[in-house]
Structure 1
């Protein structure tokens, strides 16, 4: 069964997110743990969480893929940004324990001129401070497009972060199709080759989720501009091949396309129609 959904606003709580996912035809979804531009997190309502868990169980939801705010930068040069990032991620991971067993995805960040090696060291250091043996949430490093001073535009950079993290069992990877395409990985003509490279460098056993997005730009542009499914340079056949690939088809897929609710429902329907149940 295809596990697919989109980003859903968390403003009204978990139960509302679950109902919205069902309305879209989704059986998983992503949400920001707080305002995507940062700020304080809204207090959780235990009864709201309980009602959502009942919905998720009844409708056999797949693993959720929560997303950290864009303003977090685990390898920033400014101490106040690093302090805010660590505090927010600690808080988010505590809150994620209310819905145990899901994923918490974050952008590795930008080294802002400090150099990739310094960025990798800072990111791993933060993860070593916040990951605990007791947590039931797997933290995901997201593959990036490599624009500017972003860390994570190459598989080797994510592997280097993992190598420095002590609790590797709590750390996985989320592959974003737009990002890897813009970063120079040819998932249109050589998906098997890209996955073989991922396996060699990181290990496919660590790939936990897919952000399924088309791209506005040609391969290798390093620009990170998402497009609607089938309306970009990756195209529907290639993205459908991703959802149907034997090494990927059981993962949760999350749409981050520039869409409204009707558009997300349409994309989910189209991708389900092209999915080959086995």
Structure 2
């Protein structure tokens, strides 16, 4: 096994014209990533390019030729969806648009679609979670998707749902299609939500007992600008935040997590992405001050 194959580590990459998914996969390869995550359009709007223009076949060929299986391609749903809303029109919109996003992920060949569960605005947390469950059950009852929908662990900012393992488990347990539901664990988010990531084996044991490690499908690897329990959700570059490189490196190389694609969503620095260097640091298991290269 070569150095760049010993862990599954990649990052969020752009998906924009004129190259669309071909540009996405080539960008990931330029970072030496062996998995990747894309949005199928702007993450804050409904604008979407027709599937016929996304260069899906060429994308799949490049991925295959570079030993990146499609199960290591992750799609992230846009942030504008809220399956917990009490507004009927927004609820119907969220269901319809998530259905379309699942269709797009299916066409791309992605195995996982990551979703921020929702925000309980002017409603109770239980009612909000029940609305999320009802929406997902409705979508999968009407459509036969192969894509696995992954609820992301959240930081607890505002009225976010899913910031505790118990809330994630509550929703998972009520979703009917167990084969097509999973979890995405975000290191920044769980720290911001109050979990002590420096005791990661204990956190992982909690996750296993409450949610089930078999349900963990994707991970987001991010440092945090804020201390544990801050509920802010501000990602930081590896080693520059409150989590630190060492524990994130330990998590990435954890023997129980080797099969799980891990995605960096760290910020750009002075207009430059640091993904290539961060991925290399994780392969080498050694941190260096990458920002000085961009001063």
TM-score (structure 2 length as normaliser): 0.89
Contact 1:100 1:136 in 2 (8 A): no
Contact 1:101 1:136 in 2 (8 A): no
Return the match for 2:279 from 256, 268, 271: 268
1:100 aligns with 2:105: no
Contact 2:121 2:159 in 1 (8 A): yes
The 5 A counterparts of 1:106-255 are 106-132=115-141, 134-188=144-198, 190-255=199-264
- 2:37 matched residue in structure 1: 30
Deviations 1:139-184 (A, max 9, x none): 1000001122110000010111111111011000000000000001
- 1:6 matched residue in structure 2: 11
Give the deviation of 1:77 after TM superposition.
2.1
Deviates further, 170-179 or 144-153? 144-153
In structure 2, the CA distance between the partners of 1:258 and 1:94, relative to structure 1 (3 Å rule), is same
Return the match for 2:63 from 39, 44, 56: 56
Give the deviation of 1:44 after TM superposition.
1.2
Equivalent-residue separation in structure 2 for 1:82 and 1:47 (angstroms):
28
Equivalent-residue separation in structure 1 for 2:119 and 2:110 (angstroms):
28
Give the deviation of 1:100 after TM superposition.
2.8
3-state SS of paired residue (1:105): strand
1:40 aligns with 2:50: no
Give the deviation of 1:228 after TM superposition.
0.6
Give the deviation of 1:134 after TM superposition.
2.9
Q: Please report the RMSD computed on the Cα atoms of aligned residues, expressed in angstroms.
A: 1.5
Contact 2:150 2:182 in 1 (8 A): yes
Give the deviation of 1:261 after TM superposition.
4.9
3-state SS of paired residue (1:128): helix
Number of equivalent positions: 274
1:69 aligns with 2:78: yes
Equivalent-residue separation in structure 2 for 1:33 and 1:81 (angstroms):
20
Equivalent-residue separation in structure 1 for 2:156 and 2:278 (angstroms):
27
Return the match for 1:78 from 81, 87, 94: 87
Give the deviation of 1:274 after TM superposition.
1.4
Contact 2:83 2:135 in 1 (8 A): yes
Deviates further, 92-101 or 9-18? 92-101
Runs of 4+ deviating beyond 4 Å: none
Equivalent-residue separation in structure 2 for 1:105 and 1:47 (angstroms):
20
Contact 2:74 2:110 in 1 (8 A): no
Give the deviation of 1:14 after TM superposition.
1.1
Equivalent-residue separation in structure 2 for 1:47 and 1:24 (angstroms):
21
Equivalent-residue separation in structure 2 for 1:101 and 1:39 (angstroms):
20
Contact 2:237 2:266 in 1 (8 A): yes
Equivalent-residue separation in structure 1 for 2:208 and 2:121 (angstroms):
29
Give the deviation of 1:248 after TM superposition.
1.2
